[in-house]
Amino acid sequence: MSLELGIQVVDGKKISLINPKGSVNGRPMSSRLLNGFAVGISDRLNLDLLEQDGILARILQLEITEDKIELASFLKLETKSP
């Protein structure tokens, strides 16, 4: 199995998986299946989902190369009142 996809940061809040391509035993996978997978995973990579727990997180910069991932982010934790 081979799978390739791009990563895009949207508004510093969401990581979207884009341009998915894949194959199994050298045969291309369905683009409909791959796009559905990418959308489903992207929906779960939304940092706004953390705000209800008092966590504010933003991605300021994301750079991915063959040998490293560089990430600059902002994180604020708020304590909840009893």
pTM: 0.74
Least Cα distance to 8 among 72, 70, 63 occurs for: 63
- The mean pLDDT of 32-36, rounded to a whole number, is 93
| Percent of the chain at pLDDT exceeding 90 | 87
Least Cα distance to 33 among 44, 43, 21 occurs for: 21
> CA-to-CA distance for 38 and 16, rounded, in angstroms?
8
Give the three-class secondary structure for 25.
coil
pLDDT digits (tens, 9 = 90+) for 20-29: 999 999 999 9
Does pLDDT of 80 surpass 80?
no
Task: pLDDT band for 53, please (50, 70, 90 cuts).
Answer: confident
> CA-to-CA distance for 76 and 40, rounded, in angstroms?
26
Does pLDDT of 81 surpass 80?
no
